[in-house]
Amino acid sequence: MTSPQEKAAAARKAAEEAARVAAEAVAAAEAAEREAAEQEAADKLAPSSGTGTVKVDAAKADSSEESQTVTEPVAEKQDSPEAQAIAAGYAFDGLALELGTVIVGDQVDPTARVRIPMKTINRHGLIAGATGTGKTKTVQGIAEQLSAAGVPVVVADVKGDLSGLSRQGQSNDKILGRAQETGAPDWAPTAFPVEFVSLGTDGIGVPIRATITSFGPILLSKALGLNETQESTLGLIFHWADGAGLPLLDLKDLRAVIQFLTSAEGKEDLKGIGGVSAQTAGVILRALVNLEADGGNTFFGEPELDPRDLARVEGGRGVITLFELGAQAARPQMFSTFLMWVLADLFQSLPEVGDLDKPKLVFIFDEAHLLFNGASKAFLSQVEQTVKLIRSKGVGVFFCTQLPTDIPNAVLSQLGARIQHALRAFTPEDQAALSKTVRTYPKTATYDLEKALTSLGIGEAVVTVLSEKGAPTPVAWTRIQPPRSLMDTIGEDAIRSAAQSSSLYGKYGPSVDRESAYEIMAEKLAAAAQAAEAEAPASKSRSRKAEPVDESMAEKIVNNTAFKSFLRSAATVAGREIGRSIFGTRKR
């Protein structure tokens, strides 16, 4: 027997089922009406527009006496007023680098192009995004277009993924389709002039070196991981060696100087350079020994890099110089610091040119976070100064990293172009970085930037750049053009072969070890030892009661005009040479 409660439940269930069936019936009826209306509208348009079908003449048909109708797919209309409004902000009069086309509402408009004016590339830029989002291919495409425009490019190829720039790309339907939708209908496989260089003689490219003196105390402190006190001490040691006429060309030169200053013979000299602690000098010496053990002796020395070899044009196309990480994989921080030296060297050697229609050279730092990790205030200050001032030399600098927050605010504020690939927001720290990134973009009514930055597909980026007038362009969700060169590595053997056949190999391949601090100090020590031996017999013939006090080794070593002059003038010239140029480096 059914209870009243069960009857009520059954009745309620039946009512709900009836309501559901009724709702489905209404929805089906509405759908049928819409379909009928759309069909009626299509029938009315078909005779006049011809859209959707193509008539073929009998003469063109295969052995057919009557005309026939063949159905072809109709391309969906993709012109978007919103996309066109955004693209209007990227319509520049002068030369421009093509990035891709605008996406609005999941639709790409091939006619709505996103570009960077060549005139403002020396206002620098940022290329950021999580691993696997397409940063490297964006860098590759930018390097290609700059080279094609006759602009030399220097790129840190940390992962070895950019060697394909030297080979033609591979054409297929997918690549051609993407090129068509991103505003590059003329896409064709193309190779570009590439130089492969490596830091030191253990790499696979042409060996590139710097002298210790040219590298300077600030950059060397960054490479050695010294704190600010130790950095200051190293600067004073550089100053002492310079005043004493001791050239510091390689690590053994600097090591010989510090070993002398920390020895019993050199303690008086150590006191004479600002009360430098022997313990601090010892820490620096141990850091040098560790760097040397890691192969650091291979990238300090001569011949030193001539910056003009990075700014070459061949056949109207700029040469792309790829710094391969290679054997320096264990010390990526040293690698990034060395690249900063290259930039500082360019700053010193290039003339002032002001604003140009296109840059004279573009420098791209990959894995830029390595440059700023653990950096001292002096180092960050000099990086900021370099980025600010080098644009007047016609040089553009792009930093590539995973998060914009990897770049210090003082440097980030100098970067005019922003190409932001997808960000991940899996942790509270990621969420905070996402919020900060959103606030660095101009306001936009078209996109929800916080949502967009986590929804970007591979090879898509949120972009804003500086117009030719220096104003920020509208924010554009952009599908990036595909590179025309090979999107793969060519392998270490091919890189090594290309480097050894390069014209630069004859210039930089063989090492040169000329006389410097190590040899000079060794000669002085040997001469002092010989003088001590010669004086020994004479001292025995003298009265034992009147034995003279032996001259200290320090007195023997520094018993020359250069040393005495330095000691007399140290108080008045201290610091003059350390601050003489950017990063404490010397002009050639």
Which tokens go with 204? 């696979």
**Domain C-terminal end among 482, 509, 536:** 509
125 and 265 belong to one structural domain? no
> In terms of pTM, does the model score above 0.75?
yes
Cβ count near 313 (within 10 Å): 14
Strand partners, 282: none
50 part of a folded domain: no
pLDDT in tens, 211-227: 999 999 999 999 888 99
Burial 440-455 (b: 16+ CB within 10 A, else e): bbeebebbebeebbbe
366 and 390 belong to one structural domain? yes
- Name the least confident of 188-192, 205-209, 472-476, 558-562: 558-562
285 and 182 belong to one structural domain? no
Greatest mean pLDDT among 36-45, 402-411, 474-483: 474-483
Number of structural domains (the chain) is 2
> For residues 225 and 287, what is the distance between their CA atoms, to the nearest angstrom?
8
393 and 436 belong to one structural domain? yes
Which tokens go with 459? 């090879």
561 part of a folded domain: no
235 part of a folded domain: yes
**Domain C-terminal end among 298, 331, 354:** 298
222 and 184 belong to one structural domain? no
Whether 364 and 154 have beta carbons less than 8 Å apart is answered as: yes
390 and 241 belong to one structural domain? no
> For residues 511 and 567, what is the distance between their CA atoms, to the nearest angstrom?
34
355 and 503 belong to one structural domain? yes
pLDDT in tens, 445-467: 999 999 999 999 999 999 999 99
Q: Tell me whether residue 128 is exposed, middle or buried, using C-beta atoms within 10 angstroms of its C-beta: 0 to 12, 13 to 18, 19 or more.
A: buried
Going by pLDDT thresholds of 50, 70 and 90, the confidence category of residue 17 is: low
324 and 400 belong to one structural domain? yes
**Measuring CA to CA, which residue among 79, 141, 88, 82 is closest to residue 110?**
79
What pLDDT, on the 0 to 100 scale, is given for residue 76?
43
347 and 475 belong to one structural domain? yes
230-258 average pLDDT score: 92
Structural domain harbouring 219: 212-298
549 part of a folded domain: no
Which H, E and C letters describe 10-79, residue by residue?
A: HHHHHHHHHHHHHHHHHHHHHHHHHHHHHHHHHHHHHHHHCCCEEEECCCCCCCCCCCEEEECCCCCCCC
Kindly compute the dihedral angle of the four CA atoms of residues 261, 265, 270, 276, in this order, to the nearest 10 degrees. 80
**Domain C-terminal end among 445, 477, 509:** 509
Q: Give the H/E segment covering residue 378.
A: helix 377-389
24 part of a folded domain: no
309 and 294 belong to one structural domain? no
49 part of a folded domain: no
CATH code, domain with 404: 3.40.50.300
Q: Strand 313-314 and strand 317-318: pairing?
A: antiparallel
> For residues 505 and 84, what is the distance between their CA atoms, to the nearest angstrom?
50
266 and 315 belong to one structural domain? no
119 part of a folded domain: yes
Instruction: List phi, psi (to 5°) of 263.
Output: -85, 170
- Name the least confident of 67-76, 397-406, 573-582: 67-76
**Measuring CA to CA, which residue among 243, 93, 124, 348 is closest to residue 566?**
243
pLDDT in tens, 283-322: 999 999 888 887 778 889 999 999 889 999 999 999 999 9
**Measuring CA to CA, which residue among 542, 422, 459, 575 is closest to residue 134?**
459
550 part of a folded domain: no
pLDDT in tens, 320-347: 999 987 655 556 778 888 889 999 999 8
373 and 505 belong to one structural domain? yes
